[in-house]
Structure formats: structure tokens, C-alpha cells
Structure 1
Amino acid sequence: MSLNPMTPERRRAWWTAGIAGMASYLDAGAIVTTGTALVLYQDELGITSGQFGQLSALLMVMIGLGALIGGNLSDRFGRRRVFTVTMVLYAVGALILVAAPGVGALYLGILLLGFASGADLPPSLAMIAEAAPENDEGKMVAFSHVLWMIAIPVVNVFGIIVGGMGATGARIMYGHLLVVALVVLVLRMRLPESPLWARRQVDVDTGAVDRASLKDLFSRRWFPALAGVALFYAITNIAANTNGQFSTYMYVNVAGADVSTASAMSLVGLGCSIAASLFLMRIVDTRYRMLAFLLGTVAAVIACLVPAVVGISILALVLFGVVYGISGIVSGEPMFKVWSQELIPTAHRSTAQGVSIAFARAVAAGVGLVTPAILDRSAELMFLFLAGVILVAGLIGLLWVARRPKVLQAEKDPTTHPQPADSPTS
């Protein structure tokens, strides 16, 4: 694979990818911070177990709702305008959580934090892809997933440092998110609007095209691409969400390990995932992408079959975590991020991502409700289910999504990449 020279255009694109991609850092930061901070707030604010569950669920629901609304607003009013407003809302939510005097303030803060986090994702990913030079789109979009994963150990380090401080520790953890959001807000105010969205807006203003509409997105021109990426993401995310949300539960309640062991092994898996993400950035814009996707799918299925066949033990869970930590990257969520940019036109790109993210979060929440009961009944059965889920997602990716015509590069340079006949721009 040849290396592209670091031209001024590419430097500007990488700067945009970093600043816009911080949406992923702040999304992961909100999820992981809330999981720890609510525990630290329990004694001082008197959080009950029921309220703990409600606040955790509220965060996920608002992330999905935010993605749905923010995505559509971004297609209508611009990437830069929307993700600037979302950073303001995120900072306000984080500030409320820093200063929360009682449980009621936690509900308001988490509502704003979750909504802003979700609403920030679609326009930010669209901005990255639309500003990237040709043949660098996938690489720069995949970089956002690296930022998502980096947030996890950063927040965990904060948790280790302030874990014995009670409510003060929780305020410090949310303070970290507040500071990062304010810095990102200042930096984003200097970013120009997405060139593709700005070009399309000129056509809207001159009457050359109609304003983006949900009706057109759900038409026969674009619905197959939307349905494909949404189903792929929702199904593959079941395995990723189960691994992330219930890994400690499986180590402690099924394999008989302690929390420290579970945390250490989770960090090992996370390190493997970060390495795999860097590898994906190298090959995602090359002809080796789908070969890596196929091999990743096969490896992920095998990773699930190990504990399903040999039984649940610490070693089996470690093997699963390491192999899935690598294979789940090249065949999972990062590929959704790349495909959702390539297959949907600028007029609907952000809206489509919002629909897909909201759908995937709803599916994950539904599966998560019954996961503990399945694990208690038969953890081996759960891993067989996950193997089937990954196989189905892989087939959707290989036989459906990967075969859809790409429109992103055609929009950037229609003379070099003529638009497919069955996929006209809006």
C-alpha cells in the first residue's frame, strides 16, 4: 500500500478528523463516566438501585434519540452548526452533573449529556468523511473509533485516582468531560463547514434540488443502503454491547473471578482492540478491506464458540476477549461508520446515521434486558447466540452492504467517479 504524502490538504483533513472525531471520545466518556460516577454519588445523594437503573437507561435512550434528531438537523442546517450547538448542550449537561445537589439534577444532567452526545455523532462522522481527501475517507472515519476507545482507559484512570473520594470523585470525573467539551467547542468554532454539504446547500438555495427529506431517504433509491447498514450495525452491536456491558458480570458471576481480574482482562482486550483499529486504518481504503472483514467475521464466530464448546472459565473468557477484541473491530462497528458515509448521499448521510444509531441502541437495550437471565440459565447458550449474531451480521455485510454502490467519492469528483445509474444524488 502506497503512503499518501502529508500535503496541506491532508493535514487540514486530519485536523478536522481529530476535532470532529472527539464526538466519539465524548460519547464513550459519557457512558463510562456515568457508570462509575453514579456509584460514587450513591451515598451522598441517596441514589436507590431503582434510580441507578433509571439513570443508566435514560442515558442510553437519550443517546439514541439525540442521534435521530441531530442527524436530521445536520442534513438540514449543516454539520458545523449542529455539532457546535451539541457541544454547548454537552457542556451544560456536564456542568449540571458536576454541581448536582440532588438526584433530580442528575436526571436533568444525564438527559442533556446523553442527548447532546447522540446528536453530536452523525454530523461529526459526516464532516470527517466529507472533508477527507479521496481514498482517505475510510481511514479518517475509522480514526474516530480509536478516539472512542481511548476514552475508556482515560476515564478508568480517573476512576482509579478518585475512586475513594465519594461524590467529590464523581464531580471530578464529570469535570473532565466538561473541560474536554469546552476545548472541543472552541476548536470546532474555527472549522469550516463541510464542503460537500455547503456545495449542496448552494443547489438548494438556487432551486436546483429539493431540501433533504425523510421521504427521499426511505425511497427505493436509498432505503436498501439504509436498511443494510442499520441492520448490520444493530446486529453486530449485540455482540459488542454484550461484551462491553456484561464482561465483568461473566467473569465474576459465571467464571468465579474477582472484579480486579475482570478489569485487568478487560484492559487486555481493549489494548487488542486499539491495535486492531490502527490496523484497520491502514487497510480500510485498500482492496484488502473485505478480505479482512471476512477473516474478522470468521475469527469472531470462533471466539464465541470457544466458551460455548469448552465451557465458561477464566481462560475461555480471556481467549474470547482477546480474539473478539481484534476481530470485532475489522468486522464490526467501525465498518458501519465507514459504510454509512460511503453509501448514503450528502443530503441524507447524517439522518441515515441517526436512524441507524437509534435503532441499534434500541436493539441493544432490548437484548440487554434479558442477557443476565440467559447467562444465569446457560452462559454457553449465550455464546452460541452471539456466534449466530456475528455470522448473520457478517453475511449482511458481505452479501448486502458491501455490494451497494458508493456515492461519496462520486459526489466529490463526479468526472472521475461517475454516479451509478441506480444511485443518483438527491
Structure 2
Amino acid sequence: MSASPLAQRTRSPWFVTTVAGMASFLDAGAIAGTSTALVLYQEKFALGPVEIGQLSALLTVMIAVGAFTGGRLGDRYGRRRVFTVTMILFALGALVLALAVTTPMIYVGILMLGFAAGADLPVSMAMIAESAPEGQRGKMITFSHVLWMTGVFAVILIGIFAGGLGALGARILYGFLFIVAIIVLILRTGLPESKEWTQARTESIATGETFGSLKSLFTSRYVVPLIGTGLFYAIANIAANTNGQFSTYLYVNVAGVDVSTASTFNLIAFAFSFGGTFITMRIVDTRYRMPAFIVASAISVAAFAVPASLGVVSWTLVLMSILYSIGGALAGEPMYKVWSQELFPTAFRSSAQGITIAFTRLVATAIALVTPQIILGGPQALFAFLITTTIASSLIGILWLARIKRAPTTTSIPTSADATAAVPDGLDQGVRPRH
């Protein structure tokens, strides 16, 4: 019997990448949309600074909890099964928030939305990596970051048109996320399970090994890249998270421009970030990856050096945003996503990402709590701090992660002596043939 058109279409790696990668779109939509929606809901539900702070923190914490939980379940029970359930939960959470009539409903909706968004991320990234053709894994994983930025952009556009509608505007935002989640859920029902995961689990059962247990992960050589990718992502994300959360605050309260002008500047930087990510897609699977990573790291450091040395005024903030948008497109989260697929075998891939994503979200929450105090003590001190964290994450990438051997796709646990074996030419193993 010939395959149906849907079955044929799901064999396309780019179809799998897009459908699975919509986890990044919805994660971004949940974060950016909630920051806007809570403001629009504040009058109807009497949400003060305390309640908005609690709900924002709840969203972040639940994303962290979801990432850890979803990562573990994705390794144990399969990619497709888990990210189908998480998408159902995401849609329900968005629906609760769109139809909320009481404050407790908002808390319940945020809890569901955050958990589902976090649980979907590591599983969807693993699915993309395991479906990508040889030599295109990095490109397809990086494309998920394009989808993440598209999610932010979509919410910004909705906010422009619905921002003056009060509570109705918030309902439109969450209604949009609900509709997208339903569409993604329908498309995902046509995806087959990851062949790589299925084969790895079959091999594990045949040999009597415990498939993907945390004990096996923490006692194997893969604990080294687990620590490395966790530290890289958490430290690199400090600059990205601070720039995203507090750029408007700096423009308005330090540089003295209005919100409308600040938003325009942010959109300009956003365009450069898109461009930088597409450049990353072109080079991430080539021998130019690490040379480009080094250049991108230098650009990121230079970005924060501009306001640190020349003062915090509108033009230095604009230049900083543009430079960081370009540098961070390779030397930040996109590179974390690529390394997270390459440095772990199938049995641990989803769990490892869940652990490092959860750790990073919690670190970001802690840093965000003290950032306003750092700014009050002198905004230039903030940029000196960001220079330090950017240098630290770059060195972790260059001197550590780029030198760790790429993981094989088998389920066997290599000896710890192989953990830190350096690549002869110093380039990442992602551009070399698979074992």
C-alpha cells in the first residue's frame, strides 16, 4: 500500500523541524505574551505589582520544572508521545487564560502554560536533531531559534493592535496561542516517532541496559558536557535575558527616551538578530563554526563595552543592541542548542537538555531579581557585569565544549577517559563525520 500524502510529507526533515520547532515559537509567545497580557489584565483582575511579579515568577519556575520533567519523559517514553501531550496541555492553559473570569484561573492557566512550554522544548529539540540529515543538524536546530524570534515578533505585532483593548487584548493574545497550539497539535499527529530513539531503545532492551536513567547519565562521561552546556547556557543567557527584559527600562529611565521610541529601537535590533541567526544557519555545520564563534564572542563583548565606556545614552544603547543581536546569534543560545544535540547520545539527549534548561531558567530568575538594584547603583556597572559573563561563557565554549568529543548514537556508555578528548584541530565535532 502506498504511503498517504501526510505520511510522505512527514518524512521531510524540514517539515519535522518546523512542526517540532514550533515549541520554540510557543515558548517565546508564552513568555512575551504573558508579560503584555498581565498588564492588560491588571485593571480587570486588580493585579498589582506583587501579583504580576508572582505570576511572572510562576511562569519561569514552571518552565524550568516542565523542562526537567519533559526531558526525562522524552527519553523514557519517546519524543512523539511526550510532545503530543505537552501540546494538549499548552492549548488548555492558553484557553484557560483567554477565558479567565477570576484571578485563580489566571494562576492555574500560567501554571499549565509554563509547564507545557518547558516540557515541550527539550523533547522537540531532540526530535529535530534525530530527524536531520547528516551535515544539516546544526542548521535545522538553529532554525528553531528563528521560530523562537518569530514567536516574539508575532506577539509584538498583536500587542501593537490589541494593546489598547484592555482585557480583550489579553484574551486575543492567549486566543492566538491557543489556535497556534491546536494547529501544531494536529500537524504533530502525523509525525512518526524518532527512528534514532526507537533504534537506541531497542538496542538497550536487547543488551539489558537501563535506557537513559539519570544514574547512568551522572556516572557516565556525559556528566562532563552536562556541566559544560549547563554553565555555558546559564551564563550566556544572563546577557540575553537582561537585554530582553531591561532594554526598554534602560532606554526610558536612564537614556531618557519614550516607550514608543524605545520599542522602535528594539525592533531594529530584532531585525539584526534575525539576520545573524540566518548567517549562523549557513556556517554552523561547516569548518568555519568555531572561528565564527570566536568573532561573534568578540562582537558580543564589544557590544556591552560601548555603553560601559561611553556612557548610557540612546545611541550607545542602540549600537549595543545591534552588535549583541549579531554576536549573540552564534555565541549564545543557538550554539547551546547545537552542542546539546551533538554532545549527548540518544538515551540522554532529552534529559540533559531538560536539566540544563531548568538550571538556566532558575539562574535567569535570580539574576533578574537583582538587576534593577544593579542599575540603580550605576548602569555602567551592569554592563561591566555583562562583559564579564559574556567573556566567561565564550571561554567555556572555546576552551571546553568545542573540544569535547561528539557523542555516538549508540546506547553504550563510553569510559570516562573519553570524556574530554580534544578534537585535533580544535574544531567542534559537529562538522566531522559521525562515528
User: TM-score by structure 1 length?
Assistant: 0.94
Corresponding position: 1:268 with 2:264: no
Distance 2:378 2:398 in 1: 31
Q: How large is the Cα RMSD of the aligned pairs?
A: 1.9
Native 8 Å contact 2:297 2:331 kept in 1:
yes
Q: Deviating runs (4+, > 3 A) in structure 1?
A: 8-11, 418-421
Native 8 Å contact 2:10 2:190 kept in 1:
no
Equivalent residue for 2:173?
A: 173
Distance 1:102 1:238 in 2: 34
Opposite residue 27 of structure 1, the aligned amino acid is D
Opposite residue 375 of structure 1, the aligned amino acid is I
CA drift at 1:167:
0.8
CA drift at 1:18:
0.2
Equivalent residue for 1:101?
A: 101
CA drift at 1:206:
2.8
Give deviations 1:390-410, integer Å, cap 9, x for gaps. 000000000000100002xx4
Distance 2:241 2:177 in 1: 22
How do 1:334-413 and structure 2 match up within 5 A? 334-407=334-407, 410-411=408-409
Native 8 Å contact 1:307 1:383 kept in 2:
yes
How do 1:236-255 and structure 2 match up within 5 A? 236-255=236-255
Distance 2:161 2:10 in 1: 38
Structure 2 SS opposite 1:295 = helix
Distance 2:11 2:193 in 1: 16
Distance 1:225 1:42 in 2: 43
Structure 2 SS opposite 1:47 = coil
Distance 2:208 2:75 in 1: 17
Corresponding position: 1:155 with 2:155: yes
Corresponding position: 1:422 with 2:418: yes
Equivalent residue for 1:40?
A: 40
Distance 2:157 2:64 in 1: 27
Give deviations 1:212-261, integer Å, cap 9, x for gaps. 11111112411111101110000000000000000001101111111111
Evaluate the alpha carbon distance shift between residue 208 and residue 134 of structure 1 in structure 2; reply closer, same or farther with a 3 A threshold: farther
Distance 2:242 2:264 in 1: 18
Distance 1:28 1:197 in 2: 27
Give deviations 1:178-237, integer Å, cap 9, x for gaps. 000000001001101111101012123334432211111112411111101110000000
Distance 2:123 2:295 in 1: 31
Native 8 Å contact 1:73 1:82 kept in 2:
yes
CA drift at 1:421:
7.5
Equivalent residue for 1:285?
A: 285
CA drift at 1:43:
1.1
Distance 1:10 1:61 in 2: 34
Give deviations 1:340-386, integer Å, cap 9, x for gaps. 00001111100000110011111111111110011111111110110
Distance 2:415 2:260 in 1: 54
Distance 1:170 1:380 in 2: 35
Structure 1 SS opposite 2:43 = helix
CA drift at 1:33:
0.6
Structure 1 SS opposite 2:172 = helix
* Structure 2 gap segments, 5+ residues each: 1-7, 422-435
Percent identity among equivalent residues?
A: 53
